[in-house]
Amino acid sequence: MTRWMAVLALAASVSVGQAQAQQAPQADPQNTLVLETTKGRILIALRTDLAPKHAERLKMLAREGYYNNVPFHRVIPGFMAQTGDGTRGDGTGGSKYPNLKAEFSKERFTRGVVGMARSMNPDSANSQFYIVYADAPHLNNDYTVVGRVIGGMDVADKLKPGEPVRDPDRITKMTVQSDGR
């Protein structure tokens, strides 16, 4: 290899590395959830800028072990996968803490966005959340965006479907990345 070709190869590898670095979001370990599931690992970057109270609730419950062994009780291909009912596991339960006031934003529900589940009451989100599989404009401005999957969307795509799901996949353990557990 000539010296000129070596310089070009080095420049190309630096450019590719810079492009990859620009595409990969830098996650804040203090605001990143690690979901170990029966299908693999999912990483969620919490949007504390959009939903600080909801993000704090998810971190608090993760630290308490609330989400450990919790099923993905509702998985609808092409729409979303819902989990977070650590009380009953069927989508009818919530944590011991009070429901949260909605933190709606202009952020769009696109593939990989994580939203807070709630009842018809906008201020009823508690512990349940969902990962959106595809753009869901009907959720825009009506549900709280709390984060985005930054790793493991392929894992989320493999979750067993159903409504309810028979023998569902589970979050085996959920932690905050900075806790290092």
pLDDT score of 25 more than 70: no
For residue 176, pLDDT beyond 60: yes
Q: Is the pLDDT of residue 35 over 90?
A: yes
Tell me what percent of the residues of the chain surpass a pLDDT of 90.
84
Give percent of the chain with pLDDT exceeding 70.
85
> Between these two residues, 9 and 99, which has the higher pLDDT value?
99
Give long-range contacts, CB 8 A cutoff, 24+ apart: 81-84: 81/130, 81/131, 81/133, 81/156, 81/159, 82/117, 82/128, 82/129, 82/130, 83/128, 83/129, 83/130, 83/171, 84/117, 84/127, 84/128, 84/129
Whether the pLDDT of residue 55 is over 90: the answer is yes
Query: What mean pLDDT do residues 16-42 have?
Result: 75
Output the pLDDT for position 137. 97
Give residue 6's pLDDT: 41
Does 19 have pLDDT greater than 70? Answer: no
pLDDT band at 20 (very low <50, low <70, confident <90, very high): very low
Look at residue 26 in the predicted model and tell me its pLDDT.
63
pLDDT of residue 8 exceeding 60, the answer is: no
Predicted local distance difference test score (pLDDT) of residue 27: 81
**Mind listing the pLDDT tens digit for each residue in 110-162?**
999 999 999 999 999 999 999 999 999 999 999 999 999 999 999 999 999 99
Domains and CATH numbers, the chain: 30-179 (2.40.100.10)
